[in-house]
Structure 1
Amino acid sequence: MSHTAHIRSHRKPRRSASTIAMRAGVASGVLGTLAVATAAGSANAAEPVTQTLELPVLTGDLAAQVAQSAQATQQAAANYQLQAERDAAAAAAAKEAKKDLADAKAEATKKAEAARKAAAERATRNAERTTLSTTASSSSSDSSTSTSTATGSAAAVIAFVKAQIGDAYVSGGTGPNSWDCSGLMQTAFKQVGIDLPRVSQDQSVAGTQVSLDNLQPGDILYWGSAGSAYHVAVYVGDGMFVGAQNPSTGVAEKPLSYDPPTGAVRVL
């Protein structure tokens, strides 16, 4: 017997073949699992993870509705602007029409007043025609009103105006060869020291008003209303007068019936 026979062996006991096979299978399974996990991890690492957000998508009908709504809004705005422009134009037209109406009324009133005055003057002149005709007839047969009986200042005035017969009529004329009606009267009466106003309106009220059936040679005849006369001449007797009539006749002697005067004043 060996001297070491009583000492336990330090060698590990042998495992059985079945135990070794079982452990090998387990290890093989573990290694397979690790290989699959590793492959899966590698594949996941190779492809990045992407997160997709789902956004709302406008359908064709919704887009059409939005476009239609915008177009309707623009059309409404255009309609409002057009209506505002029409309202402004209507207001301006109404204002202009009101002004035109006021102007027309003023013009109509002015014309009516002028027509009224003209009618009044015509009526006055027509009322005097009968008297003037009678005066002219009686004057023709009454030698007391002839120029041959005019004396003193009246005779001098009549002689002066008759000397100008044939001279031209010129508006504003005061002689010596052209006259207007009031210029001839002013210069004629200046020969006898009487200063008459320059214009017909003032000469028609320069003396004492006398009736047309009581005329004397040297009286100043006027046409139109006293104070607003438009023509003057001098009565020379025998139903005649001398005056600067118009551009076509110049200074002329005419019968009272040629253009019956409205009134007369006496300054001599």
Structure 2
Amino acid sequence: MSHTAHIPSHRKPRRSASKMALRAGVTGGVLSTLAVAGAAGPAIAAEPATQTIEMPTLTTDLSSQVAQSADATQQAAANYQVQAERDAAFDKAATQAKKDQVAAEKKAEAQRKAEAKAKAEAEAKRQAEAKAEASRSSERTTLQATASSSSDEAPAPASGSVAAVIAFAKAQIGDAYVSGGTGPNSWDCSGLMQAAFKQAGVDLPRVSQDQSATGTQVGLDNLQPGDILYWGGSGSAYHTAVYVGGGKFVGAQNPSTGVVEQPLSYDPPTGAVRVL
């Protein structure tokens, strides 16, 4: 140490380590350049030898790359979000489609059952109608056979009250048919029956429905003169006439024919009642 080192005014300021390192680096670089220049020979001895030390700097390109990287990261995150939303929407749509398919299958099955039931009911109705028609056909055949057999034989003469009823009914043949008519020259079916049976002292109801439910029901294969024939159901008939024997009846049929005598096969009745 210098003998004046302890005096503050004579101390030399210390150089910082960074400045010393920088000077050392510069000095080393200069020396290296001189050495290279000396080795190059006289051809380049006159040119000054220099060396540029490039320090890394944050350039505009680097900033742009960093920004682009950030944008790319953000875009990737957005793409993942969009994909996630698409997947969720697809799953939801698939679930709803499955539910809709199940509902459609149930509806189709219910429709098939309803159609099968309706078809079965229609078939049962058809069979019932066919059976009823077969029964009616059989009754018509029996009735026609009975009427044919009876027409071949002379009808047994009616006597007493039955004869009076038949005689009165036949006496009105040719009279007009008028709805609600009760004589003496125009009749409806039940009006003629009421007047005819009054000749035998029988007070019949006024309308066909009630006349068809009066007295005793008899089979069409067991008819006797004086029986009341009816068309329709018992208690709900829409027409009546009187059986006069020989497979024939007399009645006020309709406005076209008026009061006529016809064979049973002309318009086979539904049933008959006996009051005499």
- Asked whether 1:216 is paired with 2:221, we answer no
| 1:79-90 matches, cutoff 5 A | 79-90=90-101
Contact 1:242 1:253 survives alignment (8 Å): yes
- The one-letter code sitting in structure 2 at the alignment partner of 1:66 is A
Change (3 A) 1:102 1:70: same
Call closer, same or farther: CA 1:257–1:93 in 2, change over 3 Å.
Answer: same
**Percent of paired sites with the same residue:** 34
**How far did residue 153 of structure 1 move?**
4.6
How far, CA to CA, are the matches of 1:166 and 1:239 in structure 2? 23
State the partner residue of 1:266. 274
Q: How does 1:93-132 map to 2 (within 5 A)?
A: 93-132=104-143
Q: Verify the 8 A CA contact 1:207 1:266 in the aligned structure 2.
A: yes
Per mean C-alpha deviation after superposition, the further-off stretch among 86-95 and 131-140 is 86-95
Partner amino acid for 1:138?
S
What is the CA distance between 1:129 and its match in structure 2?
A: 3.3
Equivalent residue, structure 2, for 1:189: 194
Match of 1:234 among 233, 241, 244: 241
CA distance in 2, matches of 1:95, 1:265: 57
Give the 3 Å change call, closer, same or farther, for CA 222–99 of structure 1 in structure 2: farther
Letter in 2 for 1:188: M
Q: What's the offset of the Cα at 1:66?
A: 2.1
Q: CA deviation at 1:82?
A: 2.2
Which SS does the other structure have where 2:156 is aligned? helix
Q: Which amino acid aligns with 2:101?
A: A
**CA–CA distance in structure 2, aligned partners of residues 244 and 117 of structure 1:** 33
| Cα gap change, 1:209 to 1:93, in 2 (>3 Å) | same
User: In the alignment, which of 36, 60, 70 is matched to residue 81 of structure 2?
Assistant: 70
Gaps of 5+ in 2: 17-65, 183-187
CA contact (8 A) 1:220 1:233 kept: yes
* Aligned-residue RMSD, C-alpha: 4.7
Q: Does the C-alpha gap of structure 1 residues 253 and 101 become closer, same or farther in structure 2, counting only changes over 3 Å?
A: farther
Conserved 8 A contact 2:247-2:264: yes
Partner of 2:156: 144
Alpha-carbon distance between aligned partners in 2 of 1:176 and 1:204, rounded to the nearest angstrom: 19
Q: How many correspondences in the alignment?
A: 211
Amino acid paired to 1:195? P
C-alpha displacement of 1:97: 3.1
Q: Distance in 2 between matches of 1:101 and 1:244?
A: 53
User: Against the structure 1 CA distance between its residues 70 and 263, is the aligned structure 2 distance closer, same or farther, given a 3 Å change threshold?
Assistant: same
The residue type paired with residue 189 of structure 1 is Q
Amino acid at match of 1:194: L
Q: Quick one: which amino acid aligns to residue 209 of structure 1?
A: Q
Aligned to 1:255: 263
In the other structure, the counterpart of 1:6 is none
Structure 1 Cα separation of the partners of residues 257 and 177 of structure 2: 8
Cα distance, 1:100 vs. partner? Answer: 3.1
Alpha-carbon displacement from aligned partner over 1:90-129 (angstroms, at most 9, x marks no partner): 3443444344334434433432333233222222222233
